[in-house]
Amino acid sequence: MKIKKVFRSIYSARAVYELRKTNLFLTAFIGIFLGILQMTPFTIRFFGTHPYRFDLQMWQLDYEEKELLLLNLPEDCYVLNATLICNETESFVIGENVIIHFSDVDEVIINGIVFREQYFIFIAQQQDYVLSYRIFEGLSFGYLQSLDNGYEVLFSRVAEELRGVLIVPFVLGAYQTGILTFYIYVLCVSGLAMLLKFGHSNFITFKEVVNIIVYASVLPVVIVIIVGLITPAFSTIIFNMGIPLWAYVVYKKYVISELSDSSNE
């Protein structure tokens, strides 16, 4: 019965009002799902490779530097059986702080790549990511140099490897943030809603206000999922404004009438 009312709360203000006395443990459990759902439009982008193009976001090389990096790679090096076949030992620097190494290094690297035989280390802002060559199987640096978009091919594949390493912590981190911020938001709005108590001798309890705010968020969350797939940034506005507006409809339509009936008795 409660679950049916939760689904009805998407379109029914009465259903939201009727859920005001729900056990807070159940409400907290529902809140976890709502916190996850409202972050879904943002987490979808983590399944693409663009968020993992750290070379674009942190290295910030210009066009000429990108071309120079690619051309300086030893053309006779290639990947076979997830192993780099390469006799190169020299290092080179691109731009101000992007360093490409082909041997062990002791120095601190801010940005760059260290190519080892069985793996390579991608470094962005002194953060190291140990990655496999499997995504480069059969490729040689010489082949990449022959392509018009060789740099993009190289680092798009690096981004794919980074995605495999980082997608789980990125998505879980986003969902944890969504759940936490949802709880904080509900408590803050509920606290502000209690200010409506002034002028009323008999008012609903803080628990009932929390329940109304939580279940009034079901409709905005559904809208956020739909709209957020198109414009994720706009979904934040819908979420932050939709909840208090829908809760206010419940307040004006049902809470006020109950308070009026109580005062007349």
| Core vs surface per residue 210-228: b (16+ CB within 10 A) or e | bbbbbbbbbbbbbebeebb
Mean pLDDT on 235-249: 89
> What pLDDT, on a 0 to 100 scale, did the predictor assign at position 259?
63
In one-letter notation, the amino acid at residue 175 is Y
Res. 261 pLDDT band, cuts 50 70 90? low
> What pLDDT, on a 0 to 100 scale, did the predictor assign at position 27?
92
Least confident of 1-5, 123-127, 142-146: 1-5
Res. 263 pLDDT band, cuts 50 70 90? very low
Locate the domains of the chain by residue range.
Answer: 2-47+168-259, 52-164
pLDDT at 109 over 90: no
The dihedral region occupied by 253, where left means phi > 0, alpha psi between -120 and 50, and beta the remainder, is alpha
pLDDT at 211 over 90: yes
Res. 162 pLDDT band, cuts 50 70 90? very high
Mean pLDDT on 188-195: 90
> What pLDDT, on a 0 to 100 scale, did the predictor assign at position 198?
76
pLDDT at 201 over 80: no
Residue-averaged pLDDT of the chain:
87
Higher model confidence: residue 199 or residue 169?
169
> What pLDDT, on a 0 to 100 scale, did the predictor assign at position 197?
79
Residue 115, φ and ψ in degrees, nearest 5: -85, 120
pTM of the predicted model as reported, rounded to 2 decimal places = 0.78
Which token pair is 181? 């911020």
pLDDT at 49 over 90: no
Counting residues of the chain whose pLDDT is more than 70, the rounded percentage is 96
The dihedral region occupied by 23, where left means phi > 0, alpha psi between -120 and 50, and beta the remainder, is beta
> What pLDDT, on a 0 to 100 scale, did the predictor assign at position 209?
92
Least confident of 77-86, 200-209, 214-223: 200-209
For residue 224, give every residue at least 6 positions away whose Cβ sits within 8 Å of its Cβ, in sequence order, or none: 37, 38, 41, 235, 238, 239, 242
pLDDT at 232 over 60: yes
pLDDT at 182 over 90: yes
